[in-house]
Every structure is written in structure tokens, then in C-alpha cells.
Structure 1
Amino acid sequence: MKDKKQSGPQALSRINFNSSRLIRFLADLAIADGAESKQTFPQRLGQWVSFTDANTLYTALGSKAAQATVKPSKAQAGAKSAAYLVVNEELTRVRTALVDLIKRSCSPALGTARINFPTPTSDTPPEIAASYLPFHRFYLALQRDMDARVAPLRVMVRDTLMTASPALKQLAALDTALDGILGDRERRLFGAVPLLLEKRFEQLRKVHQQQLVGSGKTDDPATWMEPRAWLADFRDELVEILLAELDVRLQPTMGLIEAFSNEVN
């Protein structure tokens, strides 16, 4: 008999902020500590969860009804498969839309976007063009867009799992509990990303200024977005970090859908 794939709490235990592509990328830029924790997931979770929160998790995990296994009828199995396709397609739609938004916002050549990467001109004084504040606001705006689309998707998937099977209902309840317990800390971690990026912004700008001194050239903000110029490099790195953050934000939802897929298939 083939081992049944995991669709319970362990499906969520793979979600690890420290080992994510986002943290590795920030560490590669030398602006964040990407050292992998030696602790297990329960040990790391224990540092985030209070005694009261632990009771909430215990309640989510302790339902006897969730342990029952009932073989679904053919009609129920068909409905479950259809529901899985709906949530999986919605995940693809949301992720594709956000990837497109990030890329368009950072590259005018790809088309117009509601949010645009701040681009200085020759008329912009260098001391104003070199302010990080517009880029901070730009990143925060894209974070708000990600949150506005990813959070409802996660709720939709949870609601679907609640009626799919007892095991998936238990998993959805656990995800709800984890979201409530860890949500504030997760938001603080995401909020720190644009602050960390300011360090990288200043690093690249400092190298640019040092190169100007050596060349004797006059600084022109209009050249900062030319290929391999410092602000263009920062923009390219920003795209990678935004895409990595999107992956982290989608991980809980992807874990739920993966568990759903394991049951359906």
C-alpha cells in the first residue's frame, strides 16, 4: 500500500521564513542575517507562541471529528476535485497578476502600471534624487497590493477546505489559528524589508559616488537608470526581492492547496 501524502499540520511545517528565498537574497546583498536556525520547527514556533496561543493551537488540533475518515461518494469526490481546480486556478491567477504588477511597476518598457519605480531626470537635483523615501513608499505600495490579494485568497482556500473533508477541515482550522497567532509578527518582518533595503540603496550610492570622484565626472541623475548604473542595479535587485517576498506570502496558501491536491489525487 502506498503511503498517503501528508495533508495535516506537517504540510504547514515546511513554511520557514528564515530559509526562504527572500532572506537568502537579502543575505547575499549583505543586509540581513540569513543564518539558518539549528532549531526544529516546533522549537522556533515555541518562541513565537504564548501559553494562551498554545491553547488555541491545541483546540485546533484536538477535534475528534477531524480524526474521522469517511470514504466519500463518487459525487462527493467529483465535487472535491472541482473545488480543488477552482482554488488552484485562483492561486495561479493571483500569483500571475502580482508578478506582472511587480515587473511592470519596475520596468516602464513592459507597459503602464498604477505604481511606478521612482526615476530621476536631469532636472532633479542629485541630493533630492538620492533620497530613499520615494523608494520606501514605492515598496510599501507594492506590499499593500500583495497583502490585499494574498490574504483574501488564503481565506478562500481555507473556507473551501473546511467543507472538503474532516482532515482538511482540521488543517484549515490550524491555519486559521496560526494566522491569528503569527500574523502580527509576520507583518513586522515584512515591514522590516524596505528598511533593510535602505542599507543596500546607500551601499550602491556610495560606490557610485566613489567612482565619480575617481573619474572626475559630474553626477547626472538621468544616467542612474542606464544599464549597469547604480540605480538600475538597485531596481533589478528590488524586483528579485519583491518576487521572493511574494513567494513567502503565498507559502501558507500553497501549503493548503498542496494538501488538498494530495487528498484529491
Structure 2
Amino acid sequence: MDPCTYKRYHKHDQDSRQYLDHYFSDKSQMVFGEDALIFPIKSLTNAFAAGHIKGDILLDISHGSLVHHLYSACEFFKHMIVLKIKDRCILELKRWTDKRTGAFHWGHAAKHHADIEGKSHQLEDKEVKVRSAMQHVVKCDLEKENMTKPIVLPPADCIISTLLLEAISKDQDDYIRYLRKFSRLLKPGGHFMLLGCLGETYYTVGRDKFHAFSYSDDFVRKALEGEGFIIDHCKLQKRTAVSDLTDYKAVIFIAAHNKK
């Protein structure tokens, strides 16, 4: 397929449930567990365990209807506000937070978190805390100056962005433009936690291929530093999954804080 014909996440329809099934489920044929679940969970758990990333408000600006990356965060923030650009993703998340029939099963992610934190006996409490903290799911428009207009968000202590920037950016300038827009939602000295895929040009959902902006770890480091961030921690993991659903080369986690 010609890369020019790939769909764009924020401009075309994407089946939110198929996306979760392909890359984040506990199904036997799902081969991305180490890269998409274990690596982010370990990275975030270790970052929060250091004790300096905490506060009142965390903003999550991520791809799809992801939940697994928020299990550690719920222990350190009173409120988690989730921004989504697609109504289908909002419905999928609300189905899970409200414990409705047919909601995506995230129990395997909760178990990974509990095991990594050494708190397997608190598995049920973990899901209750995440649901309780994640009660605000807000529609946003990435092209508006105020992405959540007419809602004005309070400045955040921390932002987590997972797999979104590469899905919405067509090139380096686009990536930096969106990164700048996200960073404006932070308090001075606020933290930015980024999870992404390196060297990715496409990912597949159902029968459709979607565009991904391919970047290196050097590029994303310089992009963050160019927007006034100091990088506190960076970790890369080479791809472990064998699949032609997507072509990323590695996964990256960066924790940084804004020096402005």
C-alpha cells in the first residue's frame, strides 16, 4: 500500500475496540504485551516511585481508549482529566469507567501493575482508584487554540501522552507544533511523560492502515528540550513483537519537567 493512502487517526474513522484488541488485549494472539503493556507499566511505575511527580491534576492526552498507563498515576494525583479527539474513544472509556456490559477488559493490565508494585493483594482497589480518579473525559479539538473550548482546563501538574503524537503528526514541524500546544497546558515546573514508538511509519486497525510519523530518540529529546523541558529520565526498548500489523523499531519512555 502506498504510504500516501494511509489513513490519519484524527481525520478518519478508527475502530477503537479493534485497536485495543490488536495491541493491548490479553488474547493469546496479541503479541505486543511486552512492548505495549509491560514496558510502559514498568517505566511509569518506576518514574512515579521516585516521589517527585505528583499533584492535584494530571492530564492524559493519548491515542485510542487506553487505560493501562494510568494505573500508577492514580496513586499520585487527585484528579485525572482525559482528553479525547474521538467520540468513539470517549464512549469506550465511559463504558469501562461505568462498568457497563461489553466494556474492554483491563484486568490483565491491573494485574501487571499490582505485581510490579508488589501489591497483588490490592488488585481490586487499584481498579477502583483508577475509575474514581478518571471521571472527567473531555472532547478536544487539536486545531483550536483552546483545545477543549468552551471548557477552560486548570493548569496541570503533569501530562501523560501515549502513542498520540506520532499518530497525528505528518512531519517534524507538526510534531513540535502539537508538543508545544500540549506543553502550554502545564504549570511552570510541571512534568511531561511521553510514551511512543520509534521508527514507525504505519499501524493497522482491522483492514485499514494508518499513518505514523517516524522519528528517532535524538529527535524527540531535542524537541522536548527546544520547548523548555529538562529530561529527567529516558529509556528505550527494542521491539520484541513479531507482527506485520505495525513496523515500529523500538518503544521509548521519557519523563521531563518544564523549567519555565
- Which protein has the larger Cα radius of gyration, Structure 1 or Structure 2? 1
TM-score by length of 2: 0.24
TM-score by length of 1: 0.24
Higher strand share: 2
Higher helix share: 1
